């Protein structure tokens, strides 16, 4: 039976559903927004890891290259025809030979680093092999993770080392406002988006004042991409989860429940009536262990439950999960299963806390339009 002939209700569970119309709307929304602010999108593929999804992103327009977080992603998307790739994880020396292989095959791959030791290692390897690596310096603009401080002397030292070395080319700066994921008001989101932009521009200007090149000025996270009001001086914006969105992004305030394109289809396999539980076949192996909403105003457990048509009922969440069992319970006073029309064998959909981690549990998407399955799109996993 072909995918075009089957309905969602006919699928074996658990499986991953991707709503095609919601996906397109999400893609078009950010594409138009960044274009209106005079910058380009360098979309991050780590959420979807799918050539089919990437084709839809490109159809949305205003795209300049892609961002990856694993070398497997770089290999896969290069094989799919992508030539301009930013590997946005600080490079370790043992991966330089892999980057060299991509470059020799014709890939315009860019790497990032955030310390003088890494710059020296890149230069040494590049000079030894007779190649020049394109390098961006990663900035720390919010104390979230890695990166060099924009106001530090180390920034200029790294830029000089890259510019003067024979094995590297200083190409620019990049940052990721990871702390934006802790925000939940428009005011807080705008403030951190401006901080990301302003500190990145501070670093850029300091590098240029030192008579060093900085043609690429790259910022990005889904929350800041939807919150920033002015991108003057920023050449590209990176975002990834916006294609699918998830419950964490809903809690942050950059999407609604209706914007979440991804869900896990699961079947009811039993009940614990005395406890008010519904048991499904989607445990943490199907949903992931990510509990990203646990620190937000609304804790959705392991995911928000809706009926097979995608209509959520207030209070129904996957409150607990084992490896292959999901426990659905109601957090409201109306602890009734009837709104979901629950019977043994019936199917429900679970909206994910974190689309990246949930999608990583699967090898393909069932692409859906209404009640119909209209395609099967493969995705990759691993490093």
Write the pLDDT tens digit of every residue in 113-150.
Answer: 999 999 999 999 999 999 999 999 999 999 888 999 99
> Is the model's pLDDT at 4 over the cut of 70?
no
Quick: pLDDT tens for 194-227: 999 999 999 999 999 999 999 999 999 999 999 9
> Is the model's pLDDT at 326 over the cut of 90?
yes
The architecture of the domain spanning 20-243 is Alpha-Beta Barrel (3.20)
Residue 1: the pLDDT is 40
> Is the model's pLDDT at 15 over the cut of 60?
yes
Residue 332: the pLDDT is 82
Quick: pLDDT tens for 279-325: 999 999 999 999 999 999 999 999 999 999 998 878 899 999 999 99
Give the 3-state DSSP-derived string for the chain, with helices as H, strands as E and coil as C: CCHHHCEHHHCCCCEEEEEHHHHHHHHHHHHHHHHHCCCEECCECCCCCCHHHHHHHHHHCCECCEEECCHHHHHHHHHCCCCEEEEEEECCHHHHHHHHHHHHCCCEEEEEECCHHHHHHHHHHHHHHCCCEEEEEEECCCCCCCCECCCCHHHHHHHHHHHHCCCEEEEEEEECCHHHHHCCCHHHHHHHHHHHHHHHHHHHHHHHHCCCCCCEEEECCHHHHCCCCCCCCCCEECCCHHHCCCHHHHHHCCCCHHHCCEEEEEEEEEEEHHHCEEEECCCHHHHCCCCHHHHCCCCCECCEEEECCCCEEEEEEEEEECCCCEEEEECCCCCCCHHHCCCCCCEEEEECCCHHHHHCCCCEEEEEECCEEEEEEECCCCC
Quick: pLDDT tens for 147-184: 999 999 999 999 999 999 999 999 999 999 999 999 99
Query: Is cis: bond before 14, omega within 30 of 0?
Result: yes
Is the model's pTM score more than 0.85? yes
138 — phi, psi (to 5°)?
-85, 135
Query: By mean pLDDT, which of 21-25, 305-309, 337-341 is the weakest?
Result: 337-341
> CA 186 to CA 146: how far, in whole Å?
26
Give the 3-state DSSP-derived string for 71-126, with helices as H, strands as E and coil as C: HHHHHHHHHCCCCEEEEEEECCHHHHHHHHHHHHCCCEEEEEECCHHHHHHHHHHH
Q: Which fold has domain 261-351?
A: Lyase, Ornithine Decarboxylase; Chain A, domain 1 (2.40.37)
Residue 336: the pLDDT is 52
> Is the model's pLDDT at 243 over the cut of 80?
yes
Query: Domain boundaries in the chain?
Result: 20-243, 261-351
Quick: pLDDT tens for 51-100: 999 999 999 999 999 999 999 999 999 999 999 999 999 999 999 999 99
Average pLDDT, the chain: 95
């Amino acid at each position: 039976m072909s995918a075009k002939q089957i309905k969602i209700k006919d699928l074996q569970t658990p499986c991953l559903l991707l709503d095609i119309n919601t996906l397109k709307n999400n893609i078009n929304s950010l594409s138009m927004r960044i274009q209106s602010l005079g910058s380009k999108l360098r979309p991050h593929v780590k959420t979807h890891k799918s050539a089919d999804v990437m084709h839809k992103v490109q159809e949305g327009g205003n795209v300049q290259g892609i961002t990856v977080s694993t070398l497997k992603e770089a290999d896969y998307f290069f094989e799919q025809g992508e030539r301009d790739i930013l590997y946005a994880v600080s490079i370790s020396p043992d991966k330089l030979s892999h980057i060299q292989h991509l470059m020799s095959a014709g890939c315009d791959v860019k790497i990032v680093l955030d310390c003088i030791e890494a710059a020296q290692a890149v230069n040494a390897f590049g000079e030894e092999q007779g190649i020049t690596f394109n390098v961006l310096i990663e900035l720390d603009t919010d104390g979230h993770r890695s990166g060099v401080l924009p106001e530090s002397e180390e920034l200029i030292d790294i830029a000089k080392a890259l510019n003067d070395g024979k094995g590297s080319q200083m190409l620019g700066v990049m940052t990721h406002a990871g702390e934006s994921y802790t925000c939940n008001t428009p005011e807080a989101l705008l403030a951190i988006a401006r901080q990301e932009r302003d500190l990145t521009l501070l670093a850029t200007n300091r590098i240029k004042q030192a008579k060093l090149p900085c043609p690429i000025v790259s910022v990005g996270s889904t929350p800041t991409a939807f919150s920033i009001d002015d991108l003057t001086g920023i050449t590209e914006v990176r975002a990834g989860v916006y294609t699918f969105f998830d419950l964490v992004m809903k809690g942050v305030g950059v999407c609604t429940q209706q914007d979440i394109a991804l869900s896990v289809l699961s079947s009811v396999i039993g009940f614990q009536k005395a406890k008010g539980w519904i048991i499904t076949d989607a445990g943490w192996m199907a949903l992931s262990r990510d509990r990203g909403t646990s620190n937000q105003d609304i804790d959705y457990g392991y995911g928000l439950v809706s009926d097979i048509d995608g209509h959520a009922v207030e209070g129904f969440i996957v409150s607990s999960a084992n490896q292959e069992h999901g426990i659905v319970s109601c957090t409201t006073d109306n602890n009734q299963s009837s709104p979901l029309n629950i019977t043994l064998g019936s199917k429900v959909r679970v909206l994910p806390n974190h689309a990246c981690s949930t999608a990583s549990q699967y090898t393909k998407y069932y692409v859906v339009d209404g009640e119909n399955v209209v395609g099967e799109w493969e995705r990759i996993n691993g490093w």
